């Protein structure tokens, strides 16, 4: 069994490594956790003893198959709880992440599998991020960014790549939530801001920075 702090490390290594593919440096972990490199090293040694990571001093760290499995289960719980809070408890999508950070550490597999069934096996969380299956498979969700869409095209918003509450609140006000149908009317050459029609309401400008963090798929 991994402790709460250990689970958070495994999750962080998973995200920083691009879904477990690459090695992660001790410095990157120290920066993200805002702790000293020495405490990161302590933690990595502990995780290595439990066979959850491959770690050698002065080298990067990589998840073992077992570590990857734990990380994916934590991410699965986190995302299912977010769906539950938004769909069943009426939370807004900008409110659920900090609460899910706590709920994700309740380890009961029975609870999570029943939650999954209760929610009718959702494939993505309220931010559009894919939910790993009970078997620990991460569904692939390759979406394009809104900033890459050319004028005249219609797309469906699928999710976001930035999760800051202020960003999500801004999007909600503009009507930009997963499922929204967005038409790109014009793109400003100077700053690449976009004039959009969002569902049936319309036209509003979003900056390049906003468009870069919105994930879309082309409507068929």
Q: Which residues make up the interface to Zn ion (CB under 5 A)?
A: 97, 100
Q: How far is the CB of 104 from Zn ion (least distance, A)?
A: 8
Distance CA 26, CA 38 (A): 9
Which is nearer to Zn ion, 43 or 100 (by Cβ)?
100
CB of 158 to Zn ion, least distance (A): 16
Largest pairwise CA distance in the chain = 57
- The DSSP element (H or E) to which 160 belongs, if any, is strand 154-160
Tell me how far, at minimum, the Cβ of 78 lies from Zn ion, in Å: 6
Comparing CA positions, the residue from 96, 88, 71 lying closest to residue 12 is 71
- Of 115 and 198, the one with the shorter C-beta distance to Zn ion is 115
3-state DSSP call for residue 56? Answer: coil
Q: Are 78 and 101 in contact (CB under 8 A)?
A: yes
Phi first, then psi: give them for residue 104, nearest 5 degrees.
-65, -15
What gap in Å lies between CA 91 and CA 81, rounded to an integer?
Answer: 11
Q: Which is nearer to Zn ion, 116 or 196 (CB)?
A: 116
CB of 82 to Zn ion, least distance (A): 5
Work out how close the CB of 51 gets to Zn ion at its nearest, in angstroms, rounded to a whole number: 27
Cβ–Cβ < 8 Å for 62, 74: no
Judged by CB, which is closer to Zn ion: 83, or 100? 100
**Residue closest to Zn ion when measured from CB atoms:** 97
Choice between 20 and 159, CB closer to Zn ion: 159
**CA-to-CA distance for 22 and 88, rounded, in angstroms?**
37
């Amino acid at each position: 069994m991994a402790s709460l702090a250990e689970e958070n490390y495994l999750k962080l290594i998973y995200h920083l490594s691009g879904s477990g593919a690459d090695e992660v440096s001790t410095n990157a972990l120290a920066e993200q956790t805002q702790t000293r490199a020495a405490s990161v090293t302590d933690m990595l040694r502990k995780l290595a003893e439990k066979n959850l990571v491959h770690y050698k001093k002065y080298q990067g760290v990589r998840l073992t198959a077992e570590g990857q499995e734990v990380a994916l289960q934590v991410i699965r719980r986190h995302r299912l709880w977010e769906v539950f809070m938004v769909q069943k408890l009426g939370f807004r999508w900008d409110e659920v992440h900090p609460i899910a950070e706590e709920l994700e550490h309740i380890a009961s597999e029975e609870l999570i599998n029943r939650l999954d069934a209760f929610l009718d096996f959702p494939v993505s969380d309220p931010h559009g991020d894919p939910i790993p299956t009970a078997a620990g498979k991460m569904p692939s969700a390759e979406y394009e960014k809104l900033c890459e869409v050319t004028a005249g095209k219609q797309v469906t918003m699928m999710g976001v790549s930035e999760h800051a509450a202020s960003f999500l609140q801004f999007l909600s006000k503009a009507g930009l939530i997963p499922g929204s149908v967005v038409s790109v009317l014009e793109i400003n050459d100077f700053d690449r801001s976009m004039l959009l029609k969002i569902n049936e309401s319309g036209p509003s400008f979003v900056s390049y920075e906003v468009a870069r963090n919105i994930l879309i798929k082309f409507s068929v």
